[in-house]
Amino acid sequence: MTTLDFIRVELQYLITHHVGNKLKDEKYILSNEATIIEEETKVLLLKYFLLPFKAEEFYSFTHPIELESNDIFSVAGKMFSKPEGFIDASQNIAKLLYEQSMHPKIKEGELNIAFFSNVVLDEEIVDAIGIFKSETDVPFLKMKNQKSKFIINHEYGFEINGMDKGCIIFDTDKQNGYKILIIDNTSKSVEAQYWKDDFLKVKPINNEFHQTNQFLGIAKTFVTKQLSEEFEVSKAEKIDLLNRSVEYFKTHENFDKKEFEDEIFQNTEIINSFKNFDSTYRLDNEIELADNFEISAQAVKKQAKVFKSVLKLDKNFHIYIHGDSELIEQGVEKDGRKFYKIYFQQES
């Protein structure tokens, strides 16, 4: 499990640029001096920059030919080796982002680039570069007392918990493209991918979090979308399979693909169908997974949130299914009305 500690972090440099949408002919505005921060504001600013990042899925820079040709990798390397060139390097980052802002839905915003020291990553003290884009400003009220009355007005700003896009590049494992954490709270549509794919050009590091996260995603997709195309299966049975899939990962420290298939699907035809689906899915999505790996509890917790265990019946009933699907039966009355029969031992 990767550990990340920002408790003793120091903000060494900070500069703010403005980056518009190139397609809309919006401009970029580059700063030539460091951003001024009031001491009382620095604590809040560090929360805004760092609080959203969790030591979960790490990425690394990539390039189809050679790593040095990845522009942000190259600029980050110069920043780490010569922090005194921070301003020039930050301007290059802003220009690179502007060149990739070519979708009509990409918003203009303020680009903060920071240089941190004393970051603890897996018990190693490292420097880090933060690239943060703030796009969505919100109104907030200000109430000021003036002698016998109050004056209420408003201003616009960014919420402490409202980071739009961000990445932190840690100065470690450079030969493999550094270790990177990413935040992108925009919708997962095509225009949102420019941050990760077009601008940063990164790929997930193939560790236990990535392996666990990807396999649970494949299992969920198979059960919810593919299974009913080949077999007659009820929604209750699907939910039961999803629950058992998550339960397997919660109760095992190590994953074994054959063991998982046997325990969860318990049917040779379904197992073979899953094997074919899994193989095709990995090939189509360029996913590399081992058949045995250490399970990440963090990834299981994250994926379990999207494994729905609710059976919705019209607008009248929601049935939460957490266990044995054999305790629920589906049927149809003579008059055509559908029903579920539920068996239980006691109310709680």
Q: Pick the residue with more confidence: 310 or 93?
A: 93
Looking at the DSSP bridge assignments, the partners of residue 114 are: 14, 130
Nearest to residue 54, comparing CAs of 251, 302, 255?
Answer: 302
Judged by average pLDDT, the poorest of 59-63, 73-77, 179-183, 188-192 is 188-192
Q: Pick the residue with more confidence: 235 or 167?
A: 167
Nearest to residue 209, comparing CAs of 283, 306, 301?
Answer: 301
Q: What is d(CA 36, CA 311) in angstroms, rounded to the nearest whole number?
A: 54
Domain boundary among 179, 205, 231: 205
Q: Pick the residue with more confidence: 256 or 340?
A: 256
Instruction: Write down the pLDDT at residue 319.
Output: 58
| Domain match, 73 and 156 both | yes
In tens, the pLDDT along 6-29 reads 999 999 999 999 999 999 999 999
| Domain match, 45 and 127 both | yes
**Looking at the domain assignment, is residue 326 inside a domain?**
yes
**Looking at the domain assignment, is residue 31 inside a domain?**
yes
**Looking at the domain assignment, is residue 331 inside a domain?**
yes
| Domain match, 195 and 214 both | no
Q: How far apart, in Å, are the Cα atoms of 125 and each of 85, 117, 250?
A: 22, 8, 32
Instruction: Write down the pLDDT at residue 101.
Output: 93
Instruction: Write down the pLDDT at residue 332.
Output: 73
179 lies in which domain range? Answer: 4-205
| Domain match, 250 and 190 both | no
| Domain match, 161 and 15 both | yes
pLDDT above 60 (res 191): no
pLDDT above 80 (res 227): yes
**Quick one: pLDDT band at residue 327, thresholds 50, 70, 90?**
low
**Looking at the domain assignment, is residue 347 inside a domain?**
no
The full DSSP string for 316-344 is: TEEEE--S-GGGEEEEE-TTS-EEEEE--
Instruction: Write down the pLDDT at residue 283.
Output: 93
Token code pair at residue 155: 């201003």
Token code pair at residue 111: 């680009």
| Domain match, 113 and 260 both | no
Token code pair at residue 121: 């990553």
pLDDT above 60 (res 318): no
Q: Are 241 and 223 in contact (CB under 8 A)?
A: yes
| Domain match, 299 and 266 both | yes
- The structural domain count of the chain equals 2
pLDDT above 90 (res 181): yes
**Looking at the domain assignment, is residue 229 inside a domain?**
yes
Rounded to two decimals, what is the model's pTM?
0.82
| Domain match, 216 and 191 both | no
Q: How far apart, in Å, are the Cα atoms of 283 and each of 38, 132, 276, 288?
A: 52, 33, 11, 8
| Domain match, 177 and 87 both | yes
Domain boundary among 187, 205, 223: 205
In this prediction, residues 185-189 reach a mean pLDDT of: 66
**Quick one: pLDDT band at residue 166, thresholds 50, 70, 90?**
very high
Instruction: Write down the pLDDT at residue 272.
Output: 96
Token code pair at residue 168: 């932190």
**Quick one: pLDDT band at residue 303, thresholds 50, 70, 90?**
confident
**Cα 331 to the chain's mean position, in Å?**
41
Domain boundary among 145, 178, 205: 205
**Looking at the domain assignment, is residue 244 inside a domain?**
yes
| Domain match, 269 and 173 both | no
In tens, the pLDDT along 116-155 reads 999 999 989 999 999 999 998 888 888 999 888 989 999 8
**Looking at the domain assignment, is residue 295 inside a domain?**
yes
| Domain match, 25 and 130 both | yes
| Domain match, 34 and 92 both | yes
Q: At what angle do helices 268-284 and 208-221 cross, to 10 degrees?
A: 120
In this prediction, residues 206-222 reach a mean pLDDT of: 93
